[in-house]
Structure 1
Amino acid sequence: MKRMQADNRKQEQGHKVIRLRMDAGFFFERAVRSLDRHRYDKALKYFRLAAEKEPDNPVNQCNLAGILSEMGRFEESNEVLERILQEVDSHLHECYFYMANNYANMDDFEKAEEHCLRYLEEEPEGEFSQEAEEMLEMLAFELGRQPRRPRVQPRNRLLRKHEEARECMEAGHFLRATRILEKLVEEAPDFLAAMNNLALSYYYTGELDRAMKTIHQVLQKDSHNLHALCNLAVLSQYQGQVEQRDRLVGMLKKWAPFHLEQMMKLATTMGVLGEHQEAYRLFRHLLKLDPAPDSSLYHYVAVAAFNIGEWSFARKYWRVARELDPKSEVPRFYLNQLVEAESSLQRLPSISYHYQLPFEEQLLQLDQQQRRSIPEQIKQNPLIRSSFFWALNHGDRETKLQVLQVFEWIRDGEVEEVLRGFLLKENEDDDLKRIALYILREIGIKEPCRARLDGREVMIQPYQLAQELPHWLQAWRQVLDRCLGRMAGEYDQTQMNDAEIIWAEFLRQNQPNLPVIRKVEGWVAALEYVVAKLHGLPLTYQGVARKYDVSSSTVGRNVRMLEEVCKVYRNNTH
């Protein structure tokens, strides 16, 4: 009676009862929190409830199987995986691979082999096909006999080609990887791992429409493909598709990957999407699971910690990365950035998860290198090369000019191919295309190239490249050509290289507001003068002015414009 009266008083006073929505997402979040606190018993309870709320959702069921396996309850995990195949999704063939892992952990090598073979028969080019092949070798060793092979042999040639494409991507040769993967997907349209890598290759080279189309092709074949969903979320964010991006983030946050490689993909994706708290949780979980984490993983955890304001943890993880990889500049750079942020008491913008220096820092360091001696790690680092490709497609005009200058320094076959593709883009500035033609001329191409210039497509022969330079660049190119011609015989190769570097940097720094050239010889004289002074050679305004038949005041005026470049260059070379 008293309780009823109390309830009536609450209703009279306007109290409202707030009901919690205990759906699958609610229990999933509780499970994840319990995992972070190492409360596996509670995590298991909540994963069970999430699976009961959405029994037809294979993601929830796989999460349940995963936590059971992590707790060493391998038989129960396999029961869940078997139920997924029988009642939820018979095409989720990776369940066979997960079951093989569980049987191997129970030392039931015969059944492990049986399920591994079944996975390879169903998915000869599946996401875990390479790991499954390696597991068969291991199981054969344990059983003391030769490895068994699936009844439907995996297409080993295709797997080798896929591995070749992955190696190309790891080396930064994305265009070569794209060609291999395109042929591979055409030959094996159900090879989803190859399709996912093809989408990434398109993404890294700026072909966003083709990347999106490839991702959707994967999802039509496998709507729960984690890699494709992650790639789609990143592309959606980049293209401003907020609603689709948010829907995908909500879906991905409910995913508890069974495999370490999947967890790394999900963690990295969360970071790229700006979901730093979730990225921090996943990366820290990876640290606990990985028996030998490398410096890059510690960097990822540090970045996530920094981006959520946990600077003391960021410092801790970057210091570990520095110890593991003492030759890398990356941990040192970010530790210095952290010191500056703390001293200024300012919150810095979020930083990238790539294990590399920021793009602007890369360009700054390249500006300080000898023109013909860019370190091999700059030429070969896939992350740096991909950032250059991306900037050429999506940067502003100034950034594209800087990238084109870097490409002139690198001068390899893939740069030539990238520039040839750049010439055909419809919405690019014609002056930038003409600079690309100038670089192709410097590379020394032998074959003609097609280009869209002045609204029409033209074929340009190698001997015609000089005619296609921007008008302003033709005059400025004459300055360097004449200067080097007059310096030949009087100066050594190092001094002539310095003339090239100073002139290129002067042009870069003053784009797009270069002064008008009224007399080429006035700039030639000024350039020779600053090189002579840089090397302590006896040359006066009057002497160089007489040599080029110009006035001393003209030389002096132009030298003053070059002096700032000379100061920076002198500081970087002495």
Structure 2
Amino acid sequence: MGQYERSNEILLHVIEHIDYKLYDCYYFLANNYAYLGLFDRARDAANKYINLMPDGDFREDTDELLQLLNLEDIGSDEFSDDESLDAPMSDEFILRFEEVNQFIKDQNYLKAEEQLRELIFENPSYYAAYSQLARVLHLLGRTEEAIHFLDELLQVEVYVPAICQIALLLDHAGHDQEVYYWKEKLIDVMPIDKNHMYKVAATLCRLGEYEAALHAFQYLHKHSYQEKGVFFYRFGVAAFHCGHDAKTKKNSGRWQGVQDMKRPHCCYKLGKNVRYRMKKYSVKRFKI
């Protein structure tokens, strides 16, 4: 891990003190941040590279990195709560909730806030709306309000996506002591719902709890979770930080060609490769 941090120090020194026009540095910063699990910083550096070098040599690789990160904002994919629509709701209610997603995509956050508050008033037990409202408050720059809102919910209901969300928001706001409390809760939790388990795994990965995240990803794989591209990317990040890159290089010829971990999609491939090795070598099942 130290080599990536040192590399970033050098890259930032080049930009700030030698030649700020060496825009390729932002691409390499984005890679390093991704390997370190600093996904928000990786996204920011990647977007800056694209803005400064729209036709640069690394444009394709940067687009690929952004696609894998899939971090539009805190909770963009972890807290979409598609599964929450399984609850018995009227068609009109569901359509209005889905309309909120479009408001968010259009950055019409005030309209999204208004509609979510109406939905919560109409159905106080529909907890997915609470998570979406907290997300909107964060996007409006009202992160402390979002944290307080989720804390009030969690005092009356143990809603796993809200635990994940408040941990990430507290981390973003720099409340380290409170983050530790909720991280411990996430490490101990074992949701029955697989989508909630994925939220736990992804959150732990983003908070730097890679070993616990890896166990959760292994559990999901063993229980036939629907694995998509971003799943393998985060699986790979967790595996990389737990030392599985070296094991993979030693045990599987399928890792040839990407052993040096120099490109962002290697974490994605590592995630897939760890899954392959789990099948081949019967990796220990995550205990519950």
- Range of TM-score over shorter length: 0.5 to 0.7
Unaligned 5+ runs, structure 2:
1-80, 256-260, 269-288
Superposed, which structure 2 residues align to 1:119-518 within 5 Å?
A: 130-133=85-88, 154-166=89-101, 168-169=103-104, 171=105, 173=107, 175=109, 177-222=112-157, 224-290=158-224, 292-312=226-246, 333-335=263-265
Aligned partner of 2:62 in structure 1 is none
- The alpha-carbon deviation at position 302 of structure 1 amounts to 0.7
Inter-partner Cα distance in structure 1 for 2:231 and 2:108? 23
Superposed, which structure 2 residues align to 1:518-533 within 5 Å?
A: none
Instruction: Give the residue type in structure 1 aligned to 2:189.
Output: W
Inter-partner Cα distance in structure 2 for 1:332 and 1:172? 35
- The alpha-carbon deviation at position 282 of structure 1 amounts to 0.9
Instruction: Give the residue type in structure 1 aligned to 2:150.
Output: I
Instruction: Give the residue type in structure 1 aligned to 2:156.
Output: K
- Give the aligned length: 180
- The alpha-carbon deviation at position 200 of structure 1 amounts to 1.8
Change (3 A) 1:284 1:172: farther
The Cα offsets for residues 33-81 of structure 1, whole Å up to 9 and x where unpaired, read as xxxxxxxxxxxxxxxxxxxxxxxxxxxxxxxxxxxxxxxxxxxxxxxxx
CA contact (8 A) 1:196 1:214 kept: no
Other structure's SS at 2:155 match = helix
- The alpha-carbon deviation at position 265 of structure 1 amounts to 1.0
The Cα offsets for residues 181-235 of structure 1, whole Å up to 9 and x where unpaired, read as 233234444432101111122224432022112212322331x121222222222
Inter-partner Cα distance in structure 2 for 1:174 and 1:306? 38
Change (3 A) 1:292 1:129: closer
Inter-partner Cα distance in structure 2 for 1:210 and 1:313? 45
Inter-partner Cα distance in structure 2 for 1:246 and 1:131? 32
Instruction: Give the residue type in structure 1 aligned to 2:188.
Output: K
The Cα offsets for residues 458-484 of structure 1, whole Å up to 9 and x where unpaired, read as xxxxxxxxxxxxxxxxxxxxxxxxxxx
CA contact (8 A) 2:237 2:267 kept: no
CA contact (8 A) 2:130 2:150 kept: yes
Change (3 A) 1:199 1:253: same
Inter-partner Cα distance in structure 2 for 1:254 and 1:164? 35
The Cα offsets for residues 130-173 of structure 1, whole Å up to 9 and x where unpaired, read as 3255xxxxxxxxxxxxxxxxxxxx4442222112224555x474
Aligned partner of 2:17 in structure 1 is none
Inter-partner Cα distance in structure 2 for 1:269 and 1:190? 24
Q: CA RMSD in A?
A: 3.6
Inter-partner Cα distance in structure 1 for 2:153 and 2:189? 19
Change (3 A) 1:128 1:291: closer
Change (3 A) 1:260 1:332: farther
Other structure's SS at 2:188 match = coil
Instruction: Give the residue type in structure 1 aligned to 2:86.
Output: E
Instruction: Give the residue type in structure 1 aligned to 2:127.
Output: L
- The alpha-carbon deviation at position 300 of structure 1 amounts to 1.2
Other structure's SS at 2:182 match = helix
Instruction: Give the residue type in structure 2 aligned to 1:200.
Output: R
**Identity among equivalent pairs (%):** 23
- Which structure would you say has the larger Rg? 1
The TM-score, its normalising length taken from structure 1, stands at 0.28
Other structure's SS at 1:233 match = helix
Change (3 A) 1:238 1:313: farther
- The alpha-carbon deviation at position 249 of structure 1 amounts to 1.6
Instruction: Give the residue type in structure 2 aligned to 1:209.
Output: E
CA contact (8 A) 1:212 1:232 kept: yes
The Cα offsets for residues 239-258 of structure 1, whole Å up to 9 and x where unpaired, read as 33333222222222111110
CA contact (8 A) 2:240 2:267 kept: no
Other structure's SS at 1:221 match = coil
Unaligned 5+ runs, structure 1:
1-125, 134-153, 321-330, 339-574
The TM-score, its normalising length taken from structure 2, stands at 0.52
Aligned partner of 1:474 in structure 2 is none
